[in-house]
Homo-oligomer: A and B are copies of this chain.
Amino acid sequence: MPKMLPLTPATGEMRRPRAVRFALSLLFGITLLAGAPALQAEDGYQLWLRYAAPGAASATASPGISQLVAIADSPVQKATQHELQRGLQALSGAAPVGAKTVTRAGGLLVGTPASSPQIARLGLDLDGLGREGYRIRSAVVDGHATTVVAANEDVGALYGAFHVLRLLQTGQPLRDLDIHETPRIAVRVLNHWDNLDRYVERGYAGQSIWDWHRLPGWLDPRYTDYARANASIGINGTVLNNVNANAEVLTPMYLDKVAAIAGMLRPYGMKVYLSARFSAPMEIGGLATADPLDAGVQRWWKTKADEVYALNPDFGGFLVKANSEGQPGPQDYGRSHADGANMLADAVAPHGGIVMWRAFVYSDEEPVDRAKQAYNEFVPLDGTFRDNVLVQVKNGAIDFQPREPFHPLFGAMPKTPLMMEFQITKEYLGFSTHLAYKAPLYEEVLDADTEVQGPGSTVARVIDGSLDGHALTGIAGVANIGSDRNWSGSHFDQANWYAFGRLAWNPDLASRDIAAEWTRMTFSNDPAVVEPVVGMMMASREAVVDYTGALGLHHVMGRGHHYGPGPWVEGGPRADWTSVYFHRADANGIGFDRTRRGSDAVSQYAPPVAEIFDDVARTPEEFLLWFHHVPWNHPMRSGRPLWDELVLRYDRGVGTVRDMRATWAGLDGRIDAERHAQVAAFLAIQQDEAQWWRDASIAYFQSISGLPLPAGVAPPPHPLGYYKALEFPHAPGDTQ
């Protein structure tokens, strides 16, 4: 099972053996950069849509588009044409020549058979592309060599246009093209954990971009740029408000504002969704109950859905967090999650809407390993949900840790379409200050093999519907977007938004290739930039795992804010909100025994997987302490005892950050000064804080293990009490 659980070395050498569209070697081959281009001030606002000329290679790689043929009648067509004009002008330095039909060689023809007679006459096979897919073909149109972007629907052509712009931005020639692209997953959405007062829960990039106070009177042009960025990576929907929802968003005043946003996103193929508070019928509807089996409640939701759709005919549907962390839900009335979800599903079904029902539930009353509870709750409900319900499952069973084994629900509910929930914002990976490229995490989970139908039953195949034959499929990313000028709080966190979108479109893309693609568009096509930056990115997530707690440690962060180390956290309202509950370190050893002799969480996996996780000898070391409580001297594959290995991992993590910092310093002059300086400052902060994590964690665990540090390892500079006494007030993003 090596592919299921890749052992990601800190050097960042992780490559999936698959055909890749953007082979790095090819890119390096054609990008013959004579010298660094003139660097302009950049504040990051343009994201990966800078449309900077790809250096000296441009003469070869993008010889200019002789004419642009893109009909612009519908709003989506207008958006497509506008983006192509903007991109081609910026890339070539001159506005593209527009034309109604192809009349010379070297043109770009974009559209659908319906919008373009020339495309219709080409007779391209567009079957199987669906509504959102597209073909890009080097073809001869009325005698002229032409690059054709063809799709069945306007939105497909829009996505194809962004693909062409990506080729140009990454310095690839528009010749001999025959690309077919169609998204593997139907619903590709962001989840904004944004409150109506613009506070963003677990947000580290300023306030919510939704300026509710001034909506709908003020339609910030930034909403259009947001839609452009999302469309460029294939994201086709967004949930505007926090899953810890406020019912007020469903009042007429807010629905007007929601409709105004939807109107700005619609030309870019994006639907708007809302998080629905389950008790809304009581809070804003004046009902005495929110019981999903109550006829009045059902009527209220149907009427509310009618109202929503009257304002917003292509409204996507509702996302619901119910009976979880204090949120109201159907269990308040003795009903099941399926009862709740189905009631809402019935309300939106006549309008084509869906319900995304979160499976992130755990009860304080249940004295069961928190990792097991969602499975226990939901598996019995398999087959009882309406057709327009997706159950949204976090990638792991605890909560967006730097590394978790895949959630046991994946593969365990074959009759129900399960939707992936990834976190793009970095609640547990250093907020937006630390550089941590998360695509390797996403990739690791998507590639994980559930084995429920034998080898190859990957998580990706569960969520893309191919394993169980679901047509309705989905993936969600908890957004890291805010009002900060650079959108994500840091320049490198833009890559996590980008990578989420690319993987949502095609879960088989390789994280390294995505990193290279993003780096080229965001910073430079100069190989002297791309290679080291991709190296940093690919090493970065493993560095966070190392310096925050490797080998399967989890939930060892400071209480509440989740920023710094807190392996000593104990007490408080709930055992499973403490660190000691999860690491269970004592004088003899460390780790959570989830084997059959322990909490038996392993048995929630398919037998071949369960057997491995149950066996301390076969469990990948990355998950050792997740599944096993082992003695401090447990022998590791390195030949070192566990204690020594753990300590060395902390040091390795700090070392990787030190290396990243040095690499980045070496790029001075090749990156514009403004972005270079900010990244450099953030890496310095990250190095200090990685050291803090390392020192505090070693000080704590040594106080438990009583063991000496391995030879040559520096002791923490302060006693444990110092680290425990550190306070971190006013950290951003904490739950209000």
Residues of A near any B CB (own CB < 8 A): 195-198, 206-207, 212-214, 217-219, 221, 248, 253, 431, 433, 483-485, 674, 677-678, 681-682, 684-685, 688, 727, 729-732
What are the 7 tightest A-B residue pairs by CB atom distance, in nearest-first order?
A217-B685, A197-B730, A196-B730, A218-B681, A213-B732, A248-B729, A207-B207
Known A206-B206, A207-B207: A730·B213 in contact at CB below 8 Å: yes
Q: Which residue of B lies closest to A685 (CB)?
A: B217
Bound Cα distance from A682 to B217, whole angstroms: 7
Q: Give Cα distance in the complex from A395 to B207, angstroms.
A: 32
Given A196-B729, A217-B433; 19 other pairs, CB 8 A cutoff = A195-B730, A196-B730, A206-B206, A206-B207, A213-B731, A213-B732, A214-B685, A217-B681, A218-B433, A218-B678, A218-B681, A218-B682, A218-B685, A219-B681, A221-B674, A248-B729, A248-B730, A483-B484, A485-B485
* Chain B residues with CB under 8 A of A727: 253
- Whether B681 and A197, one on each chain, are in contact in the complex, defined by CB atoms closer than 8 angstroms, is no
Contacts of A681 in B (CB 8 A): 217-219
Scoring A484, A681, A730, A732 by chain B CB atoms within 10 A of each residue's CB, the highest score goes to A730
* Interfacial chain B residues near A729, Cβ < 8 Å: 196, 248
Contacts of A248 in B (CB 8 A): 729-730
Contact B730 A483, beta carbon cutoff 8 Å: no
Q: How far is the CA of A608 from the CA of B248 in the complex (A)?
A: 54
CB <8 Å contact, A730 and B212: yes
Determine the chain B residues whose CB is within 8 A of the CB of A688 once the complex forms: 217
Q: Which residue on chain B has the smallest CB distance to residue A731?
A: B213
Shortest Cβ distance from residue A327 to the other chain B in the assembled complex, whole angstroms: 19
Shortest beta-carbon distance from A222 to chain B in Å = 9
Chain B residues with Cβ below 8 Å from A207 are 206-207, 483
Tell me the complex Cα distance, A219–B195, Å: 28
Q: Which of B219, B253, B483 contacts A483 (CB 8 A)?
A: B483
- A625–B198 Cα distance when bound, in Å, is 38
Indicate if the CB atoms of A732 and B218 lie closer than 8 Å.
Answer: no
CB proximity of A253 to chain B, nearest CB, Å: 8
16 contacts between A and B (CB under 8 A): A196-B729, A196-B730, A197-B730, A206-B483, A207-B207, A213-B433, A213-B730, A213-B732, A214-B433, A214-B685, A217-B685, A218-B678, A218-B682, A219-B681, A221-B674, A248-B729
Q: How far is the CA of A483 from the CA of B205 in the complex (A)?
A: 11
Identical copies of this chain, number: 2
Q: Bound complex: CA of A721 vs CA of B69, how far in Å? A: 57
Given contacts A197-B730, A207-B206, A732-B197, contact A217 B684 (CB under 8 A): yes
Closest to A729 in B: B248
Distance (whole angstroms) from the CB of A491 to the closest CB of chain B? 12
Residues of B near A253 (CB, < 8 A) are 727
Chain B nearest Cβ from A685, distance in angstroms: 4
Let me know if A198 and B685 touch, CB within 8 A: no
A220 CB to closest chain B CB, in angstroms?
Answer: 8
What residues of chain B lie closer than 8 Å to A197, measured between beta carbons? 730, 732
| A447 shortest CB reach to chain B, Å | 34
Report the minimal beta-carbon distance from A564 to chain B, rounded to whole angstroms. 12
CA of A213 to CA of B678 in the docked complex: distance in angstroms? Answer: 15
Indicate the member of A198, A217, A732 with the most B CB atoms within 10 Å. Answer: A217
Query: How many Å lie between the Cα of A234 and that of B206 in the bound state?
Result: 30
Taking the nearest CB of chain B, how far is it from the CB of A304, in angstroms? 18
Q: Which of A218, A431, A484, A681 has the most CB of B within 10 A?
A: A218
Q: How long is the Cα–Cα vector from A214 to B433 in the complex, in angstroms? A: 8
Chain B residues within 8 Å of A674, by CB: 221
Q: Nearest CB to that of A680 among chain B residues?
A: B218
Least CB distance, A113 to chain B, in whole angstroms? 36
Bound CA span A83–B196, Å: 41
* Closest residue on chain B to residue A561 by CB atoms: B213
Q: How far is the CB of A731 from chain B (nearest CB, A)?
A: 6
Note all chain B residues with C-beta closer than 8 A to A433: 213-214, 217-218
A690 to chain B, nearest CB (A): 13
Which residues of B lie under 8 Å from residue A677 when comparing CB positions? 221
Chain B residues with CB under 8 Å of A730's CB are 195-198, 212-213, 248
Using known A-B contacts A218-B685, A681-B217, A681-B219, determine if residue A732 contacts B483 with beta carbons closer than 8 Å: no
Complex Cα distance, B195 from A340, in Å, reads: 40
Q: Would you give the shortest CB distance from A240 to chain B, in whole angstroms?
A: 14
Per the bound structure, the CA–CA distance linking A197 and B218 in Å amounts to 27
Give the chain B neighbours of A483 by CB distance below 8 A: 206-207, 483-484
> Which residue of chain B lies nearest to A687 when distances are taken between CB atoms in the complex?
B217
**Closest chain B residue to A681, Cβ basis:** B218
* Shortest beta-carbon distance from A119 to chain B in Å: 34
Q: Is the CB of A198 within 8 A of B485?
A: no
Q: How far apart sit A685 and B198, CA to CA, in the bound complex (Å)?
A: 20
Q: How far is the CB of A673 from chain B (nearest CB, A)?
A: 10
CA distance A197 to B729 in the complex (A): 8
Q: Which chain B positions have C-beta within 8 A of A214?
A: 433, 682, 685
User: How far is the CB of A724 from the nearest CB of chain B, in Å?
Assistant: 16
Residue on B with the closest CB to A674? Answer: B221
Residues of B within 8 A of A212 (CB): 730
Give complex CA distance A208, B433 in Å.
18
A207 to B489 alpha-carbon distance, docked (Å) = 13
